Amino acid sequence: MESNFLSAVFLPLALFIIMLGMGLGLTLEDFKRVVIEPKAVIIGLIAQLIMLPILGFLLATIFPLSPELAVGVMILVACPGGSTSNMVTYLVQGNVALSITLTVISSLVTIFTIPLVVNLAMQRFIGEGVALELPFVKTIIQIGVITFVPVTLGMLIHRYLPQFAANVEKWVKWISLFFLGLIIVGLLLKERANVLTFFLQVGGITLTLNLLTMALGYTIAILGKLDERTARAITVEVGIQNGTLAIAVASAPTLLNTPSMAIPAAIYSLIMFATSAGFAWLIKSRQVRRVKL
């Protein structure tokens, strides 16, 4: 797969389809949960939009990373949630409605926060004279086009063609995972000479990030005295990042156009499936033990 085609055509198209699939399962009623369940939503958003970037910055500072990979980690933590987190929440029997609400709200907010976080990260890790920069207004518009527009389109289809939306939605979710897999494979093939080196460099920090953010999500939910299903949803939403969006920001020609910065997101996207499976197994084991008792 040619890298230009991957980053310029396939990646934005894949992200558009993923966000469209998210919109197919949403209605305006879903956003009323912000009023109905403000505590859970506020706790989740604070963890995603404030605590997650702080944790990512601390880890990127502690771990011995090259400047580009450190920025790649910050791009990753600037992109919380995603359609994958909704699917994982469903698999662990969490509060799916809350998961979707958090994903959509954070996706809309990060249209504005991504350029801010990434530019600060590049100034911190690469230096004052950095040539790379995300133009704030242009980035807002571009990320809005590949996130807000398809979500809105999906919601309109759900509103006016509900049966069609219901039939398509379940397929789009699996197609989304397939696209994410192809994107990761394409990036790893492009950087195949350095894959082992990159995995050794960022495997530790991405695994640590994944485990700590899941622990953070669960802890803050329990401290907030939220119920178990809600705690699971927040655990997944905080712990599972939007790897597809992070890869797009790092490697798309119209944004940073630096594929090496996408490596943390690509490695993370592989690791998060293993940790998500572990989390699902842990939940299942606890349920079995409770039944036996």
Residues 198 and 192: their CA atoms lie apart, in Å, by: 10
Which residue bears the tokens 């907010």? 109
Secondary structure (DSSP) of 12-78: HHHHHHHHHHHHHT--HHHHTHHHHSHHHHHHHHHIIIIIHHHHHHHHHHHS---HHHHHHHHHHHT
pTM for the whole thing?
Answer: 0.75
Assess whether pLDDT exceeds 80 at residue 74: yes
* Cβ atoms of 108 and 163 closer than 8 Å: no
Q: Where are the domains of the chain?
A: 3-284
Secondary structure (DSSP) of 203-254: HHHHHHHHHHHHHHHHHHHHHTT--HHHHHHHHHHHHSB-HHHHHHHHH-TT
Residues 61 and 73: their CA atoms lie apart, in Å, by: 10
Statement: 3-284 belongs to CATH 3.50.50.60 = no
Dihedral of CA atoms 262, 263, 264, 266 in degrees, nearest 10, equals 90
Burial class (CB in 10 A: 0-12, 13-18, 19+), 83: buried
Top-confidence residue, 278 or 54: 54
Q: How many other C-beta atoms are found inside a 10 Å radius of the C-beta of residue 209?
A: 26
Per-residue pLDDT tens over the stretch 133-180: 556 666 667 666 766 788 788 888 988 888 888 888 777 767 766 766
For residue 70, what pLDDT is reported?
92
Look at residue 80 and give its three-state secondary structure. Answer: strand
For residue 184, what pLDDT is reported?
65
Residues 174 and 178: their CA atoms lie apart, in Å, by: 6
Per-residue pLDDT tens over the stretch 181-211: 676 676 667 666 767 777 888 989 999 999 9
Per-residue pLDDT tens over the stretch 3-32: 455 555 666 677 677 778 777 877 777 667
Burial class (CB in 10 A: 0-12, 13-18, 19+), 196: exposed
In the structure encoding, which two tokens stand for residue 65, read together?
């990373």
